[in-house]
Structure 1
Amino acid sequence: MDVPSLGFVYHGFAFLSMFLVSWWAFRKNSLRFFSQNGWAKYNSLQFFLLTWGIMVWAVVPTILSQHSLSLLFASDENSVSSIQLLLVFGLSTLAFLAGRSQSKKLDVNSGNLQPNPSLVVILLYFVIRFLFLISYEIWFRGYFLDDLTSIFSIPVAIGINVFFYALLHILGGQKEALGSILFGVILCLMVVYFGNLWTAIIIHLSISFGYEASFFAKKLKTGIEKLE
């Protein structure tokens, strides 16, 4: 990817500010919209976290770079082979199944998950969450990784990228942080291999969709069964 350097001063600000906002949300039991501990205590803080990520990871760096986002999504190759597409499809499917598997561990009938947020709040969450995950990849596997590879070898650049990726996930627990290491390496390798971001975005959206959509589908099914 031919993307101009943002400079590591900005990268440090983007990461540190997002980590601090995440830590604040964690302290207020609002790091996740829902989890085994129930709904976020403060939806406004959860939405602020997501919006802040969109701003510092996508909007601001794109303005500072003075380049179109198309540079981050354009392929370095003339065409994508069917084998490459099959690889993306396979990894996306595995990511979806992994997310759904984690969702099944949540007890939708838990008292912590009652009462449910309104439909408007849930829909708003999905929209902002969708934009947040795209922004996540634009910075982590886009601007940040690209600037790292301009200075370090690819293995070292990926190692640094994944270290900070896992560090951000440490607030979600040790198991989540460890899981993010393998996931982060896969996303970095896909971006380096394809020369663009769309692969990482699709895979990341797949695991999130598998987790969150499966949870709400189970909630909906449980609600219907109670009415019968």
Structure 2
Amino acid sequence: MPRGKKIIIETEVDDDLVDKFRSIDIEGIKKKRNKTERGLSGSIASVFKAAQMLYKQKASEEELEERHDLYSVRSAYEYLKNNGVYISFRAFGGRIERGTIPFVKVGRKRYIPRSVLDDITNTKNDFCTVKEAYEEYKRANPKINFRAFIGRIEKGSIPSVKFGTRRLVPREAIEALTHISDNYHSVSQAIKELRKEGIKIKRNAFERRLDRGRIPHVKIGGRRFIHEDVLKELVGKELRLKK
């Protein structure tokens, strides 16, 4: 930018997805999860007692499912699949074996309470695994590798939470980060775009303008991003000043 001439950016960006990202409350999610798990534990304990009575009464599998919301392993798998939770039957069985999916025994057979299955479905709707989050984010940011993505999670710039032994990422976070990749420029990207247009500016000079609030931007996970409309206005005004 020519000396003595000040550029004023008039573009204002009101971004609901960025606001949602900033409002993600990991501690609140943890507290809510602890409450849910306590409720599930109590529910499973009461179901276990009922299951023993049903075993003595020789209740059929259909009766257990229809009247008592207890699903055999196969029926539970189908229930999840019908509700949009896609997992191989082998992997599903493995999670039951490891105890990450609670179950009760009626005689020699294992049954999963519907409350457990609904919790799995709800969790799937609101969260994704680290691998799923990476695959979704990579569509918007193909240059990122899995190790770098994990690094951002470890540093906390991508919010995540542990449910038992599994680390999950809120879907809202990935939706927002994907949106940012599609519609915003990082500082490095913004400088690169300016230089493409023949606008010479050093990084520290550009960052000083960010620090002073002369270029509107958002801060996400410790990094600053400039909306494409803001950058477009900046480029236009810089080029006009050069004439």
TM-score (norm 1): 0.29
Larger Rg: 2
Structure number with higher helix proportion: 1
Structure number with higher strand proportion: 2
TM-score (norm 2): 0.28
